[in-house]
């Protein structure tokens, strides 16, 4: 399977790319925004393609072409304004879905945010971000794609435990980026997660069991 990781320069995206690259079962390509990011990846033997989520659907289609699956791990980040939240986290994401549909790339795994589907649980400090993720997820759920939407809690830079809790609705919690990356890769490879959306926090179940019991 040829897997394209969008937002490969982000903290979670980066770990996903490394995981897939190390496992060698699948071919991984990183979509990054800058040439220097592509050069760094090339040094590690990782293939990449340079494009921006603010580019057109046509440009993004060229970047996506040849992939069998997409992992969307991009985010405009906290240092830009809500204009970028709208144009990257929402519209940018939806453009990649439209490109995937046009190209017939069916599999699409989205890194979302804990409880993005429930307005009452959006973090007061991050309301625009949650709204953008909410609508990107909603459009994905209404698409023809074989989606999985993973909604992790507060992201930590700790080492992963390999043990998590996943369910449609979970109380507020946190989870290491390493565990998130592992859940994303496990979701991609498990058909049980197709057309499913779930919260993810650290927990007691092995990642394998957590996904199998969805």
Catalytic one of 129, 130, 135, 147 = 129
CB neighbours of residue 24 within 10 Å: 8
Write down the least CB distance from residue 196 to a copy of itself, Å.
20
Task: Please state, in angstroms and rounded to a whole number, the distance separating the CA atoms of residues 68 and 183.
Answer: 19
Task: Report the residue number, 21 or 95, with the smaller CB distance to a copy of itself.
Answer: 95
Per CB under 8 A, residues contacting a copy of itself are: 56-57, 81-83, 85-87, 90-91, 94-95, 119-120, 127-128, 131-132, 134-135, 138-139, 142
Task: Report the residue number, 47 or 101, with the smaller CB distance to a copy of itself.
Answer: 101
**Is residue 129 among the annotated active site residues?**
yes
| Angle of CA points 160, 11, 178, to nearest 5° | 10
Of 208, 188, 197, 196, the residue nearest 67 (C-alpha): 188
- Say if CB 149 and CB 137 are below 8 A apart: yes
- Say if CB 4 and CB 29 are below 8 A apart: yes
How far is residue 126 from each of residues 78, 131, 132, measured CA to CA in Å? Answer: 9, 9, 10
Task: Please state, in angstroms and rounded to a whole number, the distance separating the CA atoms of residues 15 and 60.
Answer: 22
Write down the least CB distance from residue 72 to a copy of itself, Å.
17
Write down the least CB distance from residue 146 to a copy of itself, Å.
19
Write down the least CB distance from residue 134 to a copy of itself, Å.
8
Strands (E), 11-126: 27-32, 47-50, 69-72, 107-111
How far is residue 124 from each of residues 151, 170, 186, measured CA to CA in Å? Answer: 17, 18, 31
Task: Report the residue number, 26 or 138, with the smaller CB distance to a copy of itself.
Answer: 138
Write down the least CB distance from residue 112 to a copy of itself, Å.
16
Task: Report the residue number, 132 or 183, with the smaller CB distance to a copy of itself.
Answer: 132
Task: Report the residue number, 108 or 180, with the smaller CB distance to a copy of itself.
Answer: 108
Which amino acids are annotated catalytic?
A: 129
């Amino acid at each position: 399977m040829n897997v394209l990781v969008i937002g490969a320069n982000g903290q979670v995206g980066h770990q996903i790319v490394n995981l897939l690259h190390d496992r060698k079962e699948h071919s991984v390509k990183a979509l990054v925004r800058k040439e220097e990011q592509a050069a760094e990846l090339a040094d590690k033997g990782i293939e990449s393609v340079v494009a921006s989520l603010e580019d057109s659907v046509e440009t993004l289609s060229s970047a996506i072409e040849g992939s069998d699956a997409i992992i969307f791990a991009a985010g405009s980040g906290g240092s830009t304004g809500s204009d970028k939240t709208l144009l990257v986290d929402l519209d940018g994401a939806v453009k990649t879905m439209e490109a995937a549909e046009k190209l017939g790339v069916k599999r699409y795994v989205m890194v979302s945010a804990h409880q993005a589907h429930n307005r009452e649980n959006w973090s007061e400090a991050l309301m625009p971000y949650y709204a953008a993720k909410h609508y990107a997820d909603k459009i994905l759920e209404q698409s023809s794609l074989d989606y999985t939407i993973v909604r992790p809690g507060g992201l930590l830079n700790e080492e992963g435990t390999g043990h998590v809790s996943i369910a449609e609705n979970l109380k507020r919690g946190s989870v290491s980026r390493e565990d998130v990356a592992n859940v994303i890769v496990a979701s991609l490879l498990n058909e049980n997660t197709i057309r499913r959306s779930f919260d993810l926090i650290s927990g007691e179940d092995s990642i394998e069991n957590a996904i199998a019991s969805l």
